[in-house]
A and B are shown apart, each in its own frame.
Chain A
Amino acid sequence: MSNPTTKVLEAAAQPRQPSGGSPQTMDGRVMNDRRKDLIQKFAALTGLLVLVAVFSMTSDAFLSVGNGMTIALQVTSIAYLGIAATCVIITGGIDLSVGSVLALAGVVAALAVKAGAPVPLGMGLGILVGAFCGLLNGLCVTRLKLPPFIATLGMMMVARGVALQITGARAVSGLGESFGELGNGAMFRIVRIGEDGFPDVVFPGIPYPVVLMVVIAIAVAIMLSRTTLGRHIYAVGSNAEAARLSGVNVAGVTLFTYVLSGTLAGLTGCVLMSRLVTAQPNEGVMYELDAIASAVIGGTSLIGGVGTISGTAIGAFVIGILRNGLNMNGVSSFTQQIIIGLVILLTVWIDQIRNRR
């Protein structure tokens, strides 16, 4: 920072405070801003805890390590897609194709394994197919200048159609046990052989999909908040023209978010199909809406420029816990839809009121 300009200007400016540090009064305001931010996060988290408390009281089986892992496992697919959706939505875009892309990716992975490819290679291929779909989405948006809604709506239909076409609309099964490892395996599983000679599960372990979810969430959160790429993603969503005139590669940044979205959709497809050890070309219908809902519940603005991964994670868990808890209380899936729909409306409305002030 040896800009000669700055020296003269610095000399000319009246220094009001030692450089580097914040003055007392301003420090107070800074803290206030940060505290507000914390309180907002806290409010969402409190909502989540209230849900947990209510369900624990209404159902005995709800609050247990086993059910906790079940919820975490159920949340994974919403979370993968929600994290990707957050990045896309922050740029002011939207990706409607992820539900179909995950089906296509899972089916491709399964067909490859069926054709004799080793499982990691097959799944890698599936993820690549997802990334490719994302690339096409991104090119439609940045090169052909199609509205993201239209570009990804087209991909949603095309990808689903291809998945149905190449499988003849039939499930791909008989994939072998190793195909199910990613979706059903767990880390730190502790099993002791009991006195009766039968195995006794001390700790069910952390399922691989949950481990992946945590790793991806942390990685993307760091990318968004700590790197220049993340900063550029926010800048594009906040004001694309200002970003372009500041030298931000707007097309490149936008393209990246769609490729990321496609890649994570591909991964979701592989994990989902692996859990079932069967590839269903009809898997993942409407998942894109869950993903968008989790981002929106977590405070991401559909206009762009605003959103965090921690918020989306909370959003995903709100949806997951609601489903699980309502299931345990014997609430029908139709009623569940109504409740989740109302929760989305409520949270976004509260968010609007908060921002209006």
Chain B
Amino acid sequence: MQQASLGTAPGRFPPAVAATELLRLDSITKRFPGVLALDGVGFDLRRGEVHALCGENGAGKSTLMKIISGQYQPDEGSITYKGEVRRFASSLDAERAGIAIIHQELNLVPHLSVAENIFLAREPKRGWPSKFFVDRSALRRQAQACLDRLGVDIRPDALVKSLSVAQCQMVEIAKALSLNAEIVIMDEPTSSLTESETALLFQVIRELKEQGVGIVYISHRLDEMALIVDRVTVLRDGRFVDTRSFADTCVDEIVARMVGRSLDDKFPERTSIPTSEVLMEVRGLTRRGVFHDVGFELRRGEILGFAGLMGAGRTEVARAIFGADPLDAGTIRLGERAITVKTPRDAIAHGIAYLSEDRKSHGLAVKMSVTQNLTLANMGAVSNALGFIDRKAEEQAAWRYIQMLSIRTPSPHQVARLLSGGNQQKIVIAKWLFRQSRILFFDEPTRGIDVGAKFAIYQLLDRLAAEGIGVVLISSELPEILGLTDRVAVFHEGRITAVLNTRETSQEEIMHFASGHGRPAAPGAETT
């Protein structure tokens, strides 16, 4: 019955918009042992359109994407590509047919050049016997042609390891074009891009649209979608919810359909009341070439936001206070006492904790169990003087925190790698709660986490503040900063340009300071 809306959807568009259909999936079902990943899902893509695929983690987006790109074969349902019913036996098969996929983790070889990467395993050959040698000039020429088509300024001879993430993305797109791709699937393309890089990517996407390429676009960043997306398909729990023209809907509506309930408030009500008692005072913090003369104070029970553009020094300041990176100058005082922090061990001993933005590589020991991760920062609490671990006490502690934070895991002995992003984040939070930390730095705590789990994390931040913990929230999402914090420190190029009262500021004012301008001229903008 829900699928029926797919059939009616094209009818709602004027004929001019309803361009030629490129790809059509009908009632696709895919089962994995014990899981029905996709249940009769339909999807269609037209030439020259950007079709967004939305859903929470586990909704079936990546399974559907893998079916389109030939990595998985559907158990039921049909794929119609350019008017023909097709079955792609492998991703190579789909690639040959003109369907390219750009993964979130880019698949480039860092030590080869841009041109070599674009034509990897398809190098133009020449010579005898049987075209044994790579035709280097043809390689460079053809790569240049692909890059020109995108209108990006990247040298084909540059080594990929010298490129920025955004440039690597462009190379991936160029690679897709070199395959004469008619469909390009993009999985979270903007997750690690700065705003200007995102703008460049969108420019390229518009270029591709004009050339008639159909784009399947997957992203957690719904706000950006308005700039490029034509239609949106929402999936929930492996089922098709609906497909709509982006013009007919709004972000809130999409989110409501993703989670299956209306999210009146994206953020929980703040229950904590910040006190005037200063927990931590930081003055003149400097690390040459990275940040200069950074000072702020953190009060008991408040959530202090660190806003700013990527690379403004927010993460670096937090890491330095935590002892993960060296400091050149500056003082850190906890209450009356000045402390020296040389290593994370020192910071942890003083009750300071830092939750990295990069959970997998900096936060979790992914091969270890939930329990072992939980107690890692506070082994002393579950072991005797000789260092022998009291396993019973350890398991009890694990159970308590699993309940307290509603961590979804089959058992405390489950390997951390097998849990979802939101639950992994909760393990890291539990680790620091178990350490009885008094000051917590959260660096992009909701990155890559689905909407429902985000809300749980927000609630947790509020509860922590209510309990008298000083919380620093580093976030690139301004709504998050505005919705959760009490005060905001705005960073620009390694300096704090303003500390604002969240209730009296606005997105515009924060952006103003974040981009290095002074106080905005019109004070009228200072509304919430």
A→B interface (CB under 8 Å): 1, 3-6, 8-10, 12-17, 19-22, 26, 29-30, 33-34, 226-229, 231-232, 234-235, 237-239, 241-249, 305-306
Contacts and interface: CB of A to CB of B under 8 A. Distances in A.
A13, A21, A29 pick with most chain B CB within 10 angstroms = A13
B72 interface: no
B322, B365, B379, B414 pick with most chain A CB within 10 angstroms = B365
Contact of B363 (A3, A13, A231, A242): A242
Interface string B455-490: 000001001101111000000000000000000000
Contacts of A231: 372, 375-376, 379, 389
Interface residues of B, number: 54
Contact of A234 (B349, B362, B372, B388): B372
B403 interface: yes
Nearest to B383: A228
Nearest to A229: B387
B528 interface: no
Interface in B348-397: 348-349, 354, 356, 361-368, 372, 375-377, 379-381, 383, 386-389, 391, 396-397
19 contacts: A3-B436, A5-B433, A5-B469, A9-B433, A12-B463, A16-B403, A19-B396, A20-B396, A20-B399, A33-B414, A235-B376, A238-B367, A239-B361, A241-B362, A244-B344, A245-B324, A245-B354, A246-B348, A246-B376
B364 A227 contact: no
B364 A242 contact: yes
A8 B463 contact: yes
A13 B389 contact: no
Interface stretch (B154-162, B288-296, B404-412): B404-412
Contacts of A5: 433, 436, 464, 467, 469
Contacts of B464: 5
Given A3-B436, A6-B400, A231-B376, 16 more contacts: A3-B433, A4-B467, A6-B404, A6-B433, A15-B403, A26-B411, A227-B383, A227-B387, A227-B388, A227-B389, A235-B368, A238-B368, A239-B367, A245-B354, A245-B363, A305-B365
A248 B377 CA distance: 7
A114 B11 CA distance: 99
Contacts of A245: 322, 324, 344, 354, 356, 362-363
Contacts of B410: 26, 29-30
B82 interface: no
Contacts of B377: 246-247
A216 to B, nearest CB: 18
Contacts of A243: 365, 376
B519 interface: no
A234 B371 CA distance: 13
B397 A13 contact: no
B356 A19 contact: no
A33 B411 CA distance: 9
Contacts of B367: 234, 237-239, 305-306
Contact of B361 (A12, A229, A241, A248): A241
A238 B387 contact: no
B383 A10 contact: no
A252 to B, nearest CB: 10
B401 to A, nearest CB: 8
A206 B361 CA distance: 48
Given A234-B372, A247-B377, A10 B467 contact: no
A10 B436 contact: no
B136 interface: no
Nearest to B348: A247
A188 to B, nearest CB: 30
B175 interface: no
B405 A13 contact: yes
Contacts of B404: 6, 9-10, 13
Contacts of A8: 463, 466-467
Nearest to A249: B345
A226 to B, nearest CB: 5
Contacts of A26: 410-411
A110 B389 CA distance: 40
Contacts of B436: 3, 5
Contact of A33 (B413, B434, B467): B413
Given A228-B389, A243-B365, A22 B469 contact: no
A321 B386 CA distance: 37
B431 interface: yes
Interface of B: 322, 324, 343-345, 348-349, 354, 356, 361-368, 372, 375-377, 379-381, 383, 386-389, 391, 396-397, 399-400, 403-406, 410-414, 431, 433-434, 436, 460, 463-464, 466-469
Contacts of A13: 403-406
A133 B463 CA distance: 52
B92 to A, nearest CB: 21
A8 B464 CA distance: 9
A214 B470 CA distance: 51
Contacts of B405: 9, 13
B465 to A, nearest CB: 11
A79 B302 CA distance: 56
A26 B362 CA distance: 29
Given A6-B433, A229-B387, A246-B376, A238 B366 contact: yes
Nearest to A13: B404
B371 to A, nearest CB: 10
A234 B349 CA distance: 22
A29 B34 CA distance: 15
A226 B389 CA distance: 5
B415 to A, nearest CB: 9
Nearest to B355: A245
Contact of B388 (A226, A238, A247): A226
Contacts of B406: 13-14
B376 A248 contact: yes
Nearest to A21: B399
Q: Which 10 A-B pairs have the closest CB atoms?
A: A238-B365, A228-B379, A247-B348, A246-B377, A305-B367, A30-B411, A238-B367, A29-B410, A227-B387, A239-B365
B322 A234 contact: no
Nearest to B356: A245
A242 B344 CA distance: 11
A227 B385 CA distance: 10
Contact of B345 (A3, A6, A10, A247): A247
A235 B365 contact: yes
Nearest to B362: A241
Nearest to A33: B413
A239 B366 contact: yes
A3, A234, A239, A249 pick with most chain B CB within 10 angstroms = A239
A17 B368 contact: no
Contacts of B412: 30
A178 B388 CA distance: 38
Contacts of B379: 228, 231-232
A236 to B, nearest CB: 9
Contact of A4 (B344, B362, B463, B468): B468
Nearest to B411: A30
Contacts of A16: 403
B302 to A, nearest CB: 15
Contact of A22 (B348, B386, B399, B433): B399
B344 A239 contact: no
A41 to B, nearest CB: 16
B139 to A, nearest CB: 33
Contacts of A237: 367
Nearest to B372: A231
B394 to A, nearest CB: 10
A1 B463 contact: no
A142 to B, nearest CB: 13
